[in-house]
Amino acid sequence: MLKALITGVTGQDGSYLAEFLLEKGYQVFGLRRRTSTPNYENVAGIKEKIHWLSGDLTDLASLIEAVRVADPDEVYNLGAQSYVAASWPQPYATGMMTAMAVTNMLEAVRIVKPTARFYQASSSEMFGKVAEIPQSEKTPFYPRSPYGVAKVYGHWITVNYRESFNMHACSGILFNHESPRRGLEFVTRKVTDGVARIKLGLQKQLSMGNLEALRDWGYAGDYVQAMWLMLQQETPDDYVIATGEMHSVRELLTTAFSYVGLSYEDHVYIDSELVRPAEVELLVGDSSKAREKLGWQPKVGFEELIHRMVDADLRRVEAEMRSQIVMVN
Ligand code: NAP
Ligand code: GDD
């Protein structure tokens, strides 16, 4: 039985990847750091099937021990401080969790199990102020946030370990991908949760930042398959994973509000605090290399994705309302 170790398993991508690998018959080990309020919501359906290991990406000894216990064939390094906006107020912590942590994880693998295949969660944020449209593996990086800078480090240290130690280390340069499990602070989920609350009468207004930003949004369930495909190749390499379609935050608002018969203009106001110190205005990926070499392609389109997310938030908010009524009675 193949064994996989996933960091960031309680996050959006980690939970979909764990489900995907369990389905394929893998034994899945999940690294979990200690938090004062544990949150297993994303992995609720598979919690008992995961072998839990206690560790923190900033603590090398804990990672060495995790790799020793799991003895993995594949390691997926998805853990990070992943919210771009939080990287300005917390630049050092972001550097430790998103950049230096990659070295820690690579070192743990190099020392304990150098033959394990390694996946690094790189990001389209590395393209930042884009040098060309669309962005491919050959596009130069120009990060625009402490998060983007940290991801560039994580990307290059992965390439460096591949070249220095002959490790099977891949870097997936993934463009934005979303789902009903997306954190509530990210723009798609913030909007779909806001739409559900407004539709159900719990909220009237929604504060937003830059509505003109353009993103290439795909479905997380499709993207974790690309991670796995990268590690099945004989030769390790780096791949852009994207839909190739670009939509604005404004279009996102129109799509989500109109789906429930509302108009975003009646509810949205701009809060200048939400506009970032340096913005990534536009991201759209060219994933032809992944499509040709991995045979990967996205299945869920933008509209379907946003509709699914609105439906899921409507169901969740309604359930919360029902449980509150029960508690009051
Ligand atoms: P996410 O939902 O924010 O999940 C992040 C995970 O990292 C959580 O499980 C979190 O655990 C864990 N983590 C954070 N700091 C840690 C630490 N010090 N030690 C151990 N675990 C730690 O992120 P995601 O959207 O699934 O993204 C997964 C990865 O892909 C991230 O590296 C992200 O930067 C990258 N990425 C994401 C996208 C995207 O659009 N989603 C695109 C490109 C790249 P807690 O539950 O304890 O917080
Ligand atoms: N979060 C948020 N909240 N973003 C807003 C808002 C708002 O109220 N209003 C406008 N935006 C704009 C942001 O300025 C940004 O241009 C865009 O919406 C997307 O923001 P996020 O959803 O927070 O994602 P991100 O693109 O910054 O980063 C995500 O994608 C990266 C890949 O490109 C994260 O998942 C990163 O971890 C990932 O690497």
pLDDT higher than threshold 70 for residue 101: yes
Question: What total number of domains does the chain contain?
Answer: 2
Sheet containing strand 27-32, strands side by side: 51-54, 27-32, 3-7, 74-77, 117-123, 169-174, 238-241
How far is ligand 2, taken at its centre, from the CA of residue 276, in Å? 10
* 92 within a domain of the structure (yes/no): yes
Mean of the per-residue pLDDT values for the chain? 97
**Which is nearest to 75 in space by CA: 46, 42, 113?**
113
Asked if 85 and 230 sit in the same domain, the reply is yes
Asked if 52 and 152 sit in the same domain, the reply is yes
What residues are paired with 178 via a beta bridge? 219
Tens digits of per-residue pLDDT, 142-153?
999 999 999 999
Per-residue pLDDT, averaged over 223-247, amounts to 98
Per-residue pLDDT, averaged over 112-139, amounts to 98
Vertex 84 angle, CA 216 and 312, to 5°: 60
pLDDT of residue 324: 84
Q: What domain range is 264 assigned to?
A: 187-215+247-281+300-328
Helices (DSSP H) in the chain: which residue ranges? Answer: 12-23, 60-70, 91-94, 101-112, 146-165, 187-199, 220-231, 249-259, 288-293, 302-328
Asked if 206 and 152 sit in the same domain, the reply is no
* 292 within a domain of the structure (yes/no): no
* 289 within a domain of the structure (yes/no): no
Per-residue pLDDT, averaged over 299-320, amounts to 98
Per-residue pLDDT, averaged over 265-287, amounts to 98
Asked if 131 and 194 sit in the same domain, the reply is no
φ and ψ at residue 25, rounded to 5 degrees: 95, 10
* 122 within a domain of the structure (yes/no): yes
Asked if 135 and 196 sit in the same domain, the reply is no
pLDDT higher than threshold 80 for residue 155: yes
pLDDT of residue 327: 66
Asked if 92 and 113 sit in the same domain, the reply is yes
Tens digits of per-residue pLDDT, 7-23?
999 999 999 999 999 99
pTM: 0.98
CATH code, domain with 211? 3.90.25.10
How far is ligand 1, taken at its centre, from the CA of residue 175, in Å? 14
Map 166-218 to HEC letters.
Answer: CCCEEEEEECCEECCCCCCCCHHHHHHHHHHHHHCCCCCCEEECCCCCEECCE
Asked if 207 and 71 sit in the same domain, the reply is no
Tens digits of per-residue pLDDT, 208-231?
999 999 999 999 999 999 999 999
Catalytic residue, from 125, 179, 219, 287: name it.
125
Asked if 79 and 193 sit in the same domain, the reply is no
Q: Is 175 in the pocket of ligand 2 (CB under 6 A)?
A: yes
* 24 within a domain of the structure (yes/no): yes
CATH code, domain with 108? 3.40.50.720
Q: Is residue 281 among the annotated active site residues?
A: no
The full length of the chain comes to: 329
Q: Which amino acid is at 311?
A: D
Asked if 144 and 223 sit in the same domain, the reply is yes
* 38 within a domain of the structure (yes/no): yes
Asked if 88 and 165 sit in the same domain, the reply is yes
Which of 82, 119, 153 is the pocket-test mutation for ligand 1 (most atoms within 8 Å of CB)?
Answer: 82
126, 240 in Cβ contact below 8 A? no
Q: Is residue 83 among the annotated active site residues?
A: no
How far is ligand 2, taken at its centre, from the CA of residue 176, in Å? 8
* pLDDT confidence bin for 271, thresholds 50/70/90: very high
Asked if 77 and 201 sit in the same domain, the reply is no
* pLDDT confidence bin for 328, thresholds 50/70/90: low
pLDDT of residue 325: 77
- Under 8 Å CB-to-CB from 245, ≥6 apart: which residues? 216, 217, 284, 301, 302
